Amino acid sequence: MKAGVQQNKVRSAIRTMVDHLATGLAILATILVVAPLIAIFAYLIYKGASSLNLAFFTQIPKPIGESGGGMANAIVGSGVLLGVASLLGIPIGIGGGIYLAEFGRGTRFANAVRFTADVLNGVPSIVMGIAIYSLIVFQQKHFSALSGGVALGIMMIPTVTRTTEEMLLMVPNSIREAALGLGVPTWRSVLSITLKTASPGVITGCMLAFARVAGETAPLIFTALGNQFWSTSLNEPIAALPLQIYVYAISPYDDQHRLAWAGALVLIILIVLAVSLVRYVASRGILKGAS
């Protein structure tokens, strides 16, 4: 009897120890995950802030060997590319989301579309670049801002579609029924009632997709190509911030490394702002006053 009690005590001590060990390991894992993020941010701020100045935002790159210069053309170029991407990706994405949430709810076709969107989300961006290259650049025989924008736009579609759908599904059915009961046509009820109620969430989704493609480099290498000079034409190669960071990072010159760090800092600040805004909107309740 006594030996049994003793044994139980030992066993429970071992179990407690294993429990503590597991807790410790989980905490260690969390620290190990947070550490690189802090390391990346700290180094980025340290390196980027020291090379960030007014010239960075106002000048175009100087020829190799001269110090100074900036990335104004790349910032504007990124803006042009993202503008084209948004024009293409956001309407189609929202349309697809509306279809999934309002018209195709529960149908086999809608499930297939949802699945395809998820799969498209996982297609590597470099593959998207090749596809757009052979679709547009290869046919036109020259690199262009348009092709880069289209590549980014297509990459926005699945994200926008899925978030729009999720947000629309949160709109209570009673609101739809109220609109339809007043004799409002379906299209009007979807656009001015459902979509409007869900608009903070939908905008959030669009911003998320925007932030994601803002940092994409791979599909731009052989579509937008990059440009050392001012260009805003859709028909010519155009500079882009992530592309420029890549080119400068693998170059052997210290001056260009500095510019790369400054560019990365600007890019990260934009993305962190977008993500924080998204979280802020989400935490305030996506559908204010609706439910």
Partner 1 sequence: MRKPETVAESVSQPVSPSSGQGSDHGITAPLTVPVEPVSEVRRFLLARGNSALADRSFSALMMTCAISIFAIVVLIATELVSQSQLSWSKVGFKFFYKFNVDPTTNLPLFWDPVNGDFYALPFLYGTLVSSLVALLIAVPLAIGVAIFLTEMSPRFLRGPLSFVTELLAAIPSVVYGLWAIFVLVPLLREHVNPVFISIFNNPTSVKLFGWTGLVGDDGLFGGVNLGLGLLASGVILAIMILPIIASLTREVMSAVPHSQREAALALGATRWEMIRIAVLRNARIGIVGSIILGLGRALGETMAVAMVIGNAAEIHRSLLSTGHSMASVIANEFSEATSDMHRSALIEIGLALFLVTILVNGLARLLVWAVTRGTPARVS
Report how far apart, in Å, the C-alpha atoms of 64 and of each of 145, 243, 246, 254 are: 24, 17, 16, 10
Shortest spacing between CB 184 and partner 1, in angstroms: 9
Residues facing residue 225 across a β-bridge: 238
Contact 96, 166 (CB under 8 A): no
What CA–CA distance (Å, rounded) separates 28 from 242?
33
Shortest distance (Å) from residue 123 CB to partner 1: 6
The CA distance from 198 to 179, in Å, is 15
CB of 139 to partner 1, least distance (A): 11
Q: Among residues 72 and 120, whose Cβ is nearest to partner 1?
A: 120
- By beta-carbon proximity to partner 1, the closer residue of 60 and 166 is 166
Tokens of 201: 């969430």
Instruction: Report whether 245 contacts 267 (CB < 8 A).
Output: yes
Query: Considering beta carbons, is residue 36 or 289 the nearer one to partner 1?
Result: 36
Q: What is the CA radius of gyration of the chain?
A: 25
Smallest gap from Cβ 229 to partner 1, in A, equals 18
Burial status of residue 74 (CB atoms within 10 A of its CB: 0-12, 13-18, 19 or more): buried
Could you tell me the smallest distance in angstroms from the CB atom of residue 283 to partner 1? 8
Q: Strands (DSSP E) along 168-263, which ranges?
A: none
Shortest gap between Cβ of 106 and partner 1 (angstroms)? Answer: 13
CA–CA distance, 134 with 94 (Å, rounded to integer): 27
3 state DSSP class of 61: strand
DSSP secondary structure letters along 226-248: --SS----TTS-B--HHHHHHHH
Least Å from the CB of residue 201 to partner 1: 13
